[in-house]
Amino acid sequence: MSNSVSPPWHLLPVLTRPGAENMALDEAMSERARDSGVVLARVYGWTRPTLSLGRNQRAAGLYDVEEARHRGVDIVRRPTGGRAVLHWREITYAVAAPENALGTLRQAYGAMNDALVLALRTLGVDAHVANPESRPPRPGPGACFEDPVAGEIVAAGRKLVGSAQHRADGALLQHGSILIDDDQPLANALLVTAQPAPPPAATLRSLMSRAPSLGEFDAAWATAIAERFGHRPCRTALDEALEERARKAAAHYASDGWTWRR
């Protein structure tokens, strides 16, 4: 789609927060994007290892909550779909936009992947979009990074970025994980019934021989957004109104009723 179609992008500060607070802020960004007509984006980290479940993934009775607590792993359910992801040593990104501002679901997903690939290449990672013939997997207990499917970002023949998108109430939210190290086997270790170990995922440490910082990726991504969408994103503070929206949503994402709803 044409760069000129894209509305202004606002890039929020890099933050590290607990899982429920991260999901709540992503939701608050979606509401702000819907109400303001701008695109909001951010790069963030996690204060503790956190297993995130896809919006529609069956999880009740499949994961050992006591084992997770023993291992120091929090569990949340995302507002977006897809399968389970273990967030810890990674770079997480989020983009919220008015629902149709970046085109159809497929167009928006592709455009955002274009920007992510550009950012990764700026860091020296030979990333590209996969084009296998396999279909997206059903949202079962398997880990998100098991197999790349068409449209996902890969490097060295393995999946590097796991992304999910959701559209509702006039807004689009896409967020995803770019692994620095492969913590995904821990997600399988939390299952009540053992599953085969997932194949190793691609990691930034193995591809770059070092671990990039969140800030380093944030800078590369800002440049990539400017190239892909035609104008550099505006650096924007996290204002009190957005924080208040996130505080109100945090209780929802911290509740067992949401996390274990299915």
Whether the pLDDT of residue 109 is over 70: the answer is yes
Domains of the chain: 3-259 (3.30.930.10)
Q: So what's the pLDDT on residue 147?
A: 63
Average pLDDT over residues 61-81: 97
pTM of the shown model? 0.92
| DSSP per-residue string spanning the chain | --GGG---EEEPPPEEE-HHHHHHHHHHHHHHHHHH--EEEEEEEESS-EEEE-TT---TTTB-HHHHHHTT-EEEE-SS-S-BEEESSEEEEEEEEETTTT-SHHHHHHHHHHHHHHHHHHTT--EEE---SPPPPPSSSSBTTS---TT-EEETTEEEEEEEEEEETTEEEEEEEEESS--HHHHHHTBSS--PPPPPPP-HHHHHSS---HHHHHHHHHHHHHHHHSSPPEE----HHHHHHHHHHHHHHH-HHHHT--
Above pLDDT 90, what percent of the chain? 85
Catalytic sites, residue numbers: 144
pLDDT for 2: 41
